[in-house]
Amino acid sequence: MFLVTLPAVSSAESFNSKNLEDGDKVLLPENILRDLMALGNMPHPLIFKITNLMSQSVCHCGVLEFSETQQRAVLPNWMFSNLNLEFGNSVSLSLAPLPKLTYVRFKPMSFKFSQILNPKASLEHALRKFTSLTLNDSIPIQTSSGSFKFLVAEIEPSVGDNPAGCIVDSDLKVEFDSPDGKDADAPPELLHLNTEIEGEVCANCYTYFKCKFPKHETTVTLSLIALTGDPDVYISTTTDKPTALNHERSAGSSRNMSIIWQRLETDSSQWYFIGVHAYKEPATFQLSISEVDSSDDESGKSTMSTIDHSDDPNFETCKNCGRFISKSSSFMHSMRCSRHNWRCPECDEVVRVSEKESHGHCPQCQKVIDPKDLQKHMDLIHSPTLCTCGMKVDPEALELHQEIECIMRLVDCKWCQSPFPLKELSEHERYCGGKTVECPLCNQSVARKKFQIHNAVVHSINPCVTSSGNRHSPTLQESTSSSPDIVPGYIQSSPDSEMISGQSPAMSEQQRLLEQTLQTSREELELREERMLEEALLQSMSFPSDEKIDIPEDEEELPFSWDSPENVLPAIGSNNLASHNSKFAPESELDESNDFGSDSDLDLDEYELEWPDDLAENSK
């Protein structure tokens, strides 16, 4: 039995460049590998049971590398936390042959996981980096929408005091439980008309509610009373989670605030979504929504004459408030108006003198705002926001950044169509393209990314070269766009190209350079794939030039159809081509090994086929 004791450190404290947080693999010293090899018959995969010598907490792990330079074990941060370890604590590692799991039930720690478009594909992609699962462990699952924590609630088979199992090469059935409690990602809470509720919200967070209005025309009043803290309220009919940057109505900056909303029968939505935000500190509040009686609504309205008296010589315009005043009362009005009203020199809005001090403007957006709330407005609206990619972006440009610039924006995999962050897309497509699919013509298992080469070599189907030798002819592009997918689950159109084509003309130079780089990368990738196909074609048609081969007299035995130009492509993969003693010219320009790598500049259009004289005459 192999057993070793080592000090344990978290990956966050080891200053190691290896990313361990996405899986359950650890780093161990090189001498551990030598000791294992000395035992002989090492199990596969290597799974260790890790035990905290102080608390006796147990976890299981795989090994990423035996490359740690110090005599210590480097653990993922989440595993370090599950084992209740502190810096410098020692752990024991012993080989643990585990049974293969057939069933696992996860419990998400966040409601946001339920919003993932394709949780099955995301989970399958994330679990590739795990070797084993231990019951009651809290593990991170990296998905296209971020990192989520899951509790391993149940596993089968469940054996021993610390049940665990291996998931490598296992046929695993996965189920999910509903998360407990309520967090920021929970769906909005239902709020009924003419009711009042009390709530609380954490600092710099939102809590959400929704209310269904009657179908008929109605006027409602939303009231928010701040009990503690500094809450704000936002309303929207288009998004279920309104924020300071995305809302239709808002109120704040007072202990008792209200919003009057009139719904018309022509309004398309009956659902109204309410978001309450706490600024800098936790807040508690009372929220109520009530329907206003029509008679009360009418009685509470104040009207002001809007009749235009500009052509009436008996009226003149007040220079202070801008209203039309009869000349007979103009003098008295001007004195009273100057004492009670004040006109803002920036927006020309007339407010009472008593409210002058609370009337200010944002220096950036010129929005009317109370000067004492200016700092709050700047923090919520104009301060740079940290994007998930790590860049700080102006809040107003955040949506555009996340759509066309952010390396964490979601792009569909061309093989499985599941969305993944652009940063991880290449790695995922390499893995996903390596999965095998069954060829519908020969029932052979072929890797997705090699399916076109398989069709070209085995079935004489060349998707990038037409009978005329033009790789990008309009006929080929039209047939490619109208034909079904060559590979099951393969989409030839690029989401990035569609997204870039729909951008607004006003773009920064940095964004244009980014688009050019993406376009160049796609073109290079397409050219590399075409050259790989050409290489496969040339290798399948190569034969010794000095070998004497009998030429068949019957023209019909040729693997060409002179009457059908679209079928000029030779029967790749067969030996019939050698029977015509055809060769590529000029022969001196070809490499003797016939090895055309992906970086070769070889173009089939530069070479012509030379045929024996009798075949050339027959072809005429």
In this structure, are 353 and 418 located in the same domain? no
In this structure, are 416 and 438 located in the same domain? no
In this structure, are 136 and 203 located in the same domain? no
Q: State how far the Cα of 62 lies from the Cα of 95, in Å rounded to an integer.
A: 10
Beta partners for residue 341, in sequence order: 352
User: 56, 47, 92, 78: which is closest to 152 by C-alpha?
Assistant: 78
User: 386, 347, 390, 387: which is closest to 367 by C-alpha?
Assistant: 347
In this structure, are 68 and 130 located in the same domain? yes
Residue 310 included in any domain: no
Q: State how far the Cα of 103 lies from the Cα of 140, in Å rounded to an integer.
A: 18
Count of CB atoms within 10 A of residue 150's CB?
24
* Backbone dihedral angles phi then psi of residue 134, each to the nearest 5 degrees: -115, 135
Joined tokens for residue 181: 């409690």
In this structure, are 438 and 338 located in the same domain? no
Residue 227 DSSP symbol: E
Beta partners for residue 446, in sequence order: 437
Q: 222: part of which helix (H) or strand (E)?
A: strand 218-228
In this structure, are 285 and 328 located in the same domain? no
* Backbone dihedral angles phi then psi of residue 424, each to the nearest 5 degrees: -105, 0
Residue 176 included in any domain: no
Q: 115, 140, 165: which is the final residue of a domain?
A: 140
Q: State how far the Cα of 46 lies from the Cα of 63, in Å rounded to an integer.
A: 7
In terms of Cβ atoms closer than 10 Å to its own Cβ (0-12, 13-18, 19+), residue 182 is exposed
Note whether 250 and 367 are within 8 A (CB): no
User: Could you tell me the CATH number of the domain that includes residue 261?
Assistant: 2.60.120.380
In this structure, are 464 and 512 located in the same domain? yes
User: Could you tell me the CATH number of the domain that includes residue 392?
Assistant: 3.30.40.10
Q: 296, 323, 353: which is the final residue of a domain?
A: 296
Note whether 226 and 278 are within 8 A (CB): no
Length of the chain in residues, anyone? Answer: 620
In this structure, are 389 and 497 located in the same domain? no
In terms of Cβ atoms closer than 10 Å to its own Cβ (0-12, 13-18, 19+), residue 132 is buried
Joined tokens for residue 602: 């070889």
In this structure, are 132 and 269 located in the same domain? no
User: Could you tell me the CATH number of the domain that includes residue 321?
Assistant: 3.30.40
Residue 496 included in any domain: yes
- Structurally, the chain folds into a number of domains equal to 5
User: Could you tell me the CATH number of the domain that includes residue 68?
Assistant: 2.40.40.50
Q: State how far the Cα of 440 lies from the Cα of 444, in Å rounded to an integer.
A: 8
Taking CA atoms, 370 is separated from 226, 227, 253, 359, 360, in Å, by: 18, 21, 8, 5, 5
Note whether 153 and 107 are within 8 A (CB): yes
Count of CB atoms within 10 A of residue 304's CB?
5
Cis peptide before 45 (omega within 30 of 0): yes
Range list of β-strands (E), 85-205: 90-95, 103-108, 132-134, 138-143, 146-156, 164-166, 173-176, 189-190, 195-201
Residue 167 included in any domain: no
Q: Which letter, b or e, does each residue of 418-451 get, where b requires 16 or more Cβ atoms within 10 Å of its Cβ?
A: bbbbbebbeebbeebbeeebebeeeeeebebbbb
Q: State how far the Cα of 312 lies from the Cα of 185, in Å rounded to an integer.
A: 61
Q: State how far the Cα of 196 lies from the Cα of 179, in Å rounded to an integer.
A: 27
Tens-place pLDDT, residues 594-614: 443 434 343 434 434 444 454
Q: State how far the Cα of 493 lies from the Cα of 481, in Å rounded to an integer.
A: 9
User: 410, 407, 408, 401: which is closest to 507 by C-alpha?
Assistant: 401
Non-local CB neighbours of 75 within 8 Å, separated by 6+ positions: 8, 9, 10, 11, 20, 26, 50, 61, 83, 85
Per 3-state DSSP, the chain is made up of helix, strand and coil in percentages (nearest 5) of 30, 30, 45
Residue 303 included in any domain: no
Q: 402: part of which helix (H) or strand (E)?
A: helix 395-404
Q: What does the longest C-alpha to C-alpha distance in the chain come to?
A: 121
Joined tokens for residue 146: 């971020």
Residue 220 included in any domain: yes
User: 206, 204, 203, 210: which is closest to 182 by C-alpha?
Assistant: 206
Tens-place pLDDT, residues 172-190: 888 888 776 555 567 788 8
Q: State how far the Cα of 605 lies from the Cα of 530, in Å rounded to an integer.
A: 13
Domain housing 321: 315-370
Looking at residue 303, its pLDDT comes to 38
The residue written with tokens 């989670």 in the block is 241
Looking at residue 307, its pLDDT comes to 66
Residue 159 included in any domain: no
In this structure, are 241 and 103 located in the same domain? no
Q: State how far the Cα of 356 lies from the Cα of 354, in Å rounded to an integer.
A: 6
In this structure, are 466 and 590 located in the same domain? yes
Looking at residue 442, its pLDDT comes to 93
Residue 304 included in any domain: no
Confidence (pTM): 0.46
In this structure, are 506 and 582 located in the same domain? yes
Amino acid at the residue 50: I
Q: State how far the Cα of 24 lies from the Cα of 468, in Å rounded to an integer.
A: 54
Q: 140, 155, 179: which is the final residue of a domain?
A: 140
Task: Give per-10-residue mean pLDDT for the chain (620 aa).
Answer: 90 76 92 89 90 92 92 92 88 93 88 74 83 92 79 90 90 81 68 87 86 78 89 88 84 71 68 88 88 54 54 85 86 88 88 87 85 83 80 83 86 85 86 88 90 87 60 43 40 38 47 66 74 71 48 44 41 38 38 39 41 46
Four-CA torsion 79, 80, 83, 84, nearest 10 degrees: -140
Tens-place pLDDT, residues 522-569: 777 777 777 777 777 666 655 444 444 444 444 444 444 444 444 444
Looking at residue 177, its pLDDT comes to 82
Q: State how far the Cα of 447 lies from the Cα of 430, in Å rounded to an integer.
A: 11
Count of CB atoms within 10 A of residue 564's CB?
9
Joined tokens for residue 351: 């407010």
User: 321, 367, 418: which is closest to 116 by C-alpha?
Assistant: 418
